[in-house]
Structure 1
Amino acid sequence: MTTALARRTDYRLTFLVLCVGVASFSLLQSMVNPVLPTIQAALHTDQATVTWVLTAYLVSASIFTPIIGRVGDKVGKERMLVVALGALAVGSLLAAVAGTIGVLIAARVIQGIGGGVLPLTFGIIRDEFPREKVASAIGMAAALLAVGGGVGLVIAGPLVDALSYHWLFWIPMVMTIVAAVAAAVWVPESPERTPGRINVGTALLMSVWLVALLVGVSQGHHWGWSSGKVIGLFVIAAVMLPVWVIAEARSKEPLIDMQMMRIPTVWTVNLVALLFGMGMYAMFAFVPQFLQTPEVAGYGFGVSVSESGLLLLPQTVATFIGGIAAGRLAARFGSKALLVVGATLTAVGTFGMAFAHGELWMVLIETSILGLAFGLAFAAMSNLVVAAVPQSQTGVASGMNTNIRTVGGAIGSAVIATVVTSSLLPTGVPTESGYTHGFLLLAITSTAAAVVSVLVPVVKAVTHVVPGPQAEAEHDDAVATTTA
């Protein structure tokens, strides 16, 4: 056994490969957002249609993130990591050469398969890293998702100005190809597997309610919240969600283990993720718009797309710092404490945006506070979930947590879009009160996330280099004790 371990790739090289994959996925999440008007003009389409470039990616990633995580738990995380990165590369290539909006939307659906990169990354870290390195590595990988989102906003405008929007896909394509090849060569195969087959039936049920919910939420602002299509989609989601839960609970081989989802640490952190996602993704979407609002509107700063991205650079740096510091802080104070601090700082930053946004320096301070909060909270949520579940369920548990955060982001962005645009100036620009009410609503959800985070119970995981039945049993005993 010792000889076999000695031949395994050094965990630091493995981590480098994983970081490239996570960075590629996170860039594709955010780089497209600021340049949708450019894509709309280049592909001769309308605003309602071009929003599907975002919606298709969101829905696809939400479906495939937990599924790919679960398949990785069963057949091997390294194999599925290569598959997920390969899908990102293929989707990026197709998007880069797309000549019509339909092809671009199809490419974004393929890219969404890459959502499995994050849960697979957490699982591989737990399998391969020394015990004392697991928390900091997971924290950095999780924070990298938020960092990549910030970097995408920063570089999108200058990149399109200097080259074209096609390079928003060429660059991630190159990164993912490198990461996929490196993963196939250097990332060790998973020593931990979950026996059994993949439950296709429950996967389809999950896909139905997720698609109905996310399409309804994402398109509600365009179609009208009271339209028959939106109401019909919400009815389908409301019916199919409990059907899916019942089917999973009764299945001998569930895709998502409902007993795992009922672990107190898991469900409370998932609730925090839902509330936290509402604030984080909506801030990513609406702070740049606020900065770009012409000063003649009585607020805003009239900056360009490129300038608004650069003004968010301090936020990105703060997120990176928070992610790096999270490991050491968690070792000293615990991941729960970091989650409470991260959610509280998010509330502070969003309250600030609601009531003190008249000067640029105010916005820079508030977005920097938000960046630090994102880095700490992302790391804490990931570590708490990974620590609370058996090693064989790391991929699917972290995948669902990521998925729930994304669903929260979709809901938050859609609701805030409705609030912000509820009152418009004669020029068609939202009134300042629209943004104030929107940011205030996000502050309320962030405060709720902070309250729930205080209630999160903590499980001390058994994390080790060589997983085995005894360690798994010890972990299950710890979870059972906490549940009781």
Structure 2
Amino acid sequence: MTTEVGRPHHHVTFAVLTAGIVTYSLLQSLVTPVLPTIQSELHTGRSTVTWVLTAYLLSASIFTPIMGRAGDLIGKKRVFVAALIALSLGALLAALATDVTVLIIARAIQGIGGGVLPLAFGIVRDEFPREKVSGAVGAIASLTAAGGAAGIVLAGPIVGALGYPWLFWLPMILTAASAVAAHFLLPESPGRSPGRIGLLPAVLMSGWLVALLVAVGRAPDRGWGSGEVIVLLVVAVGVALAWIRVEKRSARPLIDMAMMRQPAVWTNNLIALLVGVAMYALFAFVPVFVQTPTSAGYGFGASVTQSGLMVLPQPITMFLAGMITGGLSRRIGERAVVMLGLLVSLASVALLTFARSEEWELYLATTIMGAGFGFAFSAMSSLIVGAVPPAQTGVASGMNANIRTVGGSIGTALMAGVVTADLRPDGLPEEAGYTNGFGMLGVTLVMAAFAVLLVPRSRGVSVAECRPPGTATTAMANQAE
């Protein structure tokens, strides 16, 4: 199926992108529920094993916008394939690792693959008919979130049946196959953005992200008022200000600050930050709540596998919601779909806050939660892609994903602090900690809903108008009109 000689049909392109995105999103979360197993197998401490997550998070936060910018400069297909190769090599090294240091390095290599998401958005915008872009972006965004949630569900059965190295062997096989398919089947980008990636802006951006995320990661254990955390936060703010100043003065910046100030961009980034706070904290702490022994007076004493089954509705409804977001957005607008998603998500948080003593209540809450975040996540991604010219799609969506990740780090740290603020003699949190924590996430979603009201009603730059002339997609878009 092709649209021009040698140029694949957009359905083929979508299938290849989907394969890469799903495996990337699985690698994000597969290790989260089984950190205690990895800690035991590699004979390391709790503080050390958490770097298996932190190293990936730091690397992805740094490389996601850089890889997006690189795709705009040298070609989205080339960089997409490179990102999948990095994921494969990192997964291979992790599967073979017999030492926690090697595993941490492997996870940092995997973080380079965070660029697949903005690159996929850019390829969709380049190659799809205009009327198909919103739906495809929404579907890919929902697959990313649903894949991350599915990783939490699948981790227990994989480890129980095959052992924890298969958390990396299976994704490695899939990412390697996806890289080969992408190399042979994806079309190369029809246009390029002028410029280069400056070393100083990249170093400064990496510096403030590392300082911020390390501070947020250590705050639950050390306390937000500890000297170490305060120093790291001050360094993060100082380096971030220096980075912004350098970017403003650069003729060809890594991140265009004028673009970041556009109302459609900064409002969506604000929503992404707040949604990240709530969504990732819920993904992390709902399974923990379910696994709490019943002797605590709450929880269900579930195993890792059982807790995965209890949250299984979440990735299913998230995927389904993302698949219908495109059509819904065409009828009521993407801004309205984001608002709908946030309100539905808020309903799930209300259930978790006030009604979580029965299993059916948890199933209902996770079902609603998946649908809500599926709508919000997908429509938000479409909004940011439609808000900028095609030459800035990669870097804009990369920064949006990055900001959402930073929000997730902050949300997880805040939730950990609230939940563990008052511990029982047996070391388990009091149930009130979960009530307060879920309530805090509900307030975050209310703030995100108010932020949606600030998003301009305009759909921004027309995808068809900005696409370089002469491409297969332009012809298809013109025919559709």
- Note the alpha carbon deviations across 1:282-308, whole angstroms, 9 max, x for none: 001000000011111111111111000
Tell me the distance in 2 between the aligned counterparts of 1:351 and 1:234.
32
Q: CA deviation at 1:249?
A: 1.0
Q: CA RMSD in A?
A: 1.5
Q: CA deviation at 1:198?
A: 1.4
Please report the TM-score for the alignment, with normalisation by the length of structure 2.
Answer: 0.95
Asked if the contact 1:248/1:255 (under 8 Å) is kept, the reply is yes
Q: Are positions 1:212 and 2:208 aligned together?
A: no
For residue 476 of structure 2, what is the aligned residue in structure 1?
none
Q: CA deviation at 1:6?
A: 4.0
Asked if the contact 1:279/1:445 (under 8 Å) is kept, the reply is yes
Q: Are positions 1:268 and 2:273 aligned together?
A: no
For residue 176 of structure 1, what is the aligned residue in structure 2?
175
Tell me the distance in 2 between the aligned counterparts of 1:466 and 1:382.
18
Tell me the distance in 2 between the aligned counterparts of 1:161 and 1:215.
32
Please report the TM-score for the alignment, with normalisation by the length of structure 1.
Answer: 0.95
Alignment of 1:204-243 (within 5 A): 204-243=203-242
Q: CA deviation at 1:229?
A: 2.2
Tell me the distance in 2 between the aligned counterparts of 1:459 and 1:200.
35
- Note the alpha carbon deviations across 1:86-120, whole angstroms, 9 max, x for none: 00000000000001000000000000000000000
SS in 2 for 1:146: helix
For residue 467 of structure 1, what is the aligned residue in structure 2?
467
For residue 478 of structure 2, what is the aligned residue in structure 1?
none
Tell me the distance in 1 between the aligned counterparts of 2:238 and 2:25.
32
| Higher alpha-carbon deviation: 229-238 or 170-179 | 229-238
Letter in 2 for 1:322: A
How many residues are treated as equivalent by the alignment? Answer: 469
For residue 397 of structure 1, what is the aligned residue in structure 2?
396
Q: CA deviation at 1:378?
A: 1.1
Distance change in 2, residues 1:175/1:278 (3 Å): same
Tell me the distance in 1 between the aligned counterparts of 2:132 and 2:6.
19
Tell me the distance in 1 between the aligned counterparts of 2:297 and 2:466.
61
Alignment of 1:374-389 (within 5 A): 374-389=373-388
Q: CA deviation at 1:351?
A: 2.0
Tell me the distance in 1 between the aligned counterparts of 2:331 and 2:469.
29
Q: CA deviation at 1:252?
A: 0.5
Asked if the contact 1:84/1:114 (under 8 Å) is kept, the reply is yes
Q: CA deviation at 1:227?
A: 3.0
Q: Are positions 1:58 and 2:50 aligned together?
A: no
- Note the alpha carbon deviations across 1:361-400, whole angstroms, 9 max, x for none: 1111111111001111111111000101011000000000
SS in 2 for 1:254: coil
Asked if the contact 1:48/1:222 (under 8 Å) is kept, the reply is no
For structure 1, list consecutive stretches of 5 or more residues without a partner in the other structure.
472-484
Q: CA deviation at 1:71?
A: 0.7
| Higher alpha-carbon deviation: 430-439 or 446-455 | 446-455
Q: CA deviation at 1:459?
A: 3.2
SS in 1 for 2:164: coil
Q: CA deviation at 1:454?
A: 2.0
- Note the alpha carbon deviations across 1:220-259, whole angstroms, 9 max, x for none: 2233333332222111001111111111111101000001
For residue 15 of structure 2, what is the aligned residue in structure 1?
16
Q: CA deviation at 1:470?
A: 12
Q: Are positions 1:428 and 2:400 aligned together?
A: no
| Higher alpha-carbon deviation: 245-254 or 110-119 | 245-254
Alignment of 1:251-290 (within 5 A): 251-290=250-289
For structure 2, list consecutive stretches of 5 or more residues without a partner in the other structure.
472-481
Tell me the distance in 2 between the aligned counterparts of 1:360 and 1:4.
50
Alignment of 1:14-53 (within 5 A): 14-53=13-52
Letter in 2 for 1:417: A
Q: CA deviation at 1:451?
A: 1.0
| Higher alpha-carbon deviation: 219-228 or 284-293 | 219-228
For residue 407 of structure 2, what is the aligned residue in structure 1?
408
Tell me the distance in 2 between the aligned counterparts of 1:284 and 1:387.
28
For residue 90 of structure 2, what is the aligned residue in structure 1?
91
SS in 2 for 1:464: helix
SS in 2 for 1:303: coil
For residue 290 of structure 2, what is the aligned residue in structure 1?
291
Letter in 1 for 2:122: G
Q: CA deviation at 1:203?
A: 0.9
Q: CA deviation at 1:467?
A: 2.0
Q: CA deviation at 1:328?
A: 0.7
Distance change in 2, residues 1:308/1:337 (3 Å): same
Moved over 6 A (4+): none
For residue 139 of structure 1, what is the aligned residue in structure 2?
138
Letter in 2 for 1:249: K
